[in-house]
Structure 1
Amino acid sequence: MDAATITLTPSAARRVAFIAEKQGKPAALRLAVEGGGCSGFQYRFGLAEGVEADDVISETDGVKLVVDSVSLDLVAGCVVDFVESMGGSMFKVENPQAVAGCGCGSSFAV
């Protein structure tokens, strides 16, 4: 699968750049999928310390979205956005493969 299968929105790219600058780290967000959560799988976000050989990278406005090859199978085609609302702000994954999700938005099933 190529990098076009995952997308970081400009809003999310701005937020990653802001967080990375505050922490003095490269502007790269790692998206991983772990077992657990209310629906079977959950998303895990963090600044990418480095890039592994099997990682897939998508770039928006100079900010990278890094996904490992195992997680990519579960998030191929996804869009990672950053949303702010009265309830708070968060990274949100729009995953076309998810057949079910939970109210918190961080857990899904395929």
Structure 2
Amino acid sequence: MSTDTVTLSEAAAKRIAAVVASDAEKSSLRVSVEGGGCSGFSYKFDLDRGPQSDDIVITRAGATVLIDPVSIVYMAGSEIDFVDNLLGQSFQIKNPNAVASCGCGTSFSV
């Protein structure tokens, strides 16, 4: 699986680097897709110590994102972004595979 199937925006890379810098035991952001959520699937974000042997590893500007092989199937072609606006701050996935999503931006269907 090619590591360029998911991209990381500059804003997301900066935020990930800042978040992991505050936790000496964690070095990466793990993004996964789980069943559930109001549209069928949802994204989960966790800090992690480092990659598993089968993880897809995406790096940009000192930030590392880890995605497991099952989740990458649902995320191929996506961009991970970080948005800071009047509604708050959050990581968002711009996923071309999603045919529907909910208002919270973390739930989708394919």
Instruction: Please tell me the TM-score bracket, short chain as reference.
Output: over 0.9
Q: Is the 8 A contact 2:100 2:109 kept in 1?
A: yes
Q: Is the 8 A contact 1:7 1:65 kept in 2?
A: no
**Residue identity matched to 1:64:** T
TM-score, length-scaled by structure 1: 0.95
Output the CA distance in 1 between the equivalents of 2:52 and 2:68.
Answer: 8
Q: Is the 8 A contact 2:27 2:50 kept in 1?
A: no
TM-score, length-scaled by structure 2: 0.95
**Residue identity matched to 1:77:** G
What is the identity percentage for the equivalent residue pairs of Structure 1 and Structure 2?
44
Over the aligned positions, Cα root-mean-square deviation in angstroms equals: 1.0
**Partner of 2:107 in structure 1?**
107
Structure 1 stretches (4+) deviating beyond 6 angstroms?
none
Q: Does 1:58 align with 2:43?
A: no
**Residue identity matched to 1:107:** S
Structure 2 unaligned regions, length at least 5: none
Aligned length: 110
Output the CA distance in 1 between the equivalents of 2:50 and 2:61.
Answer: 19
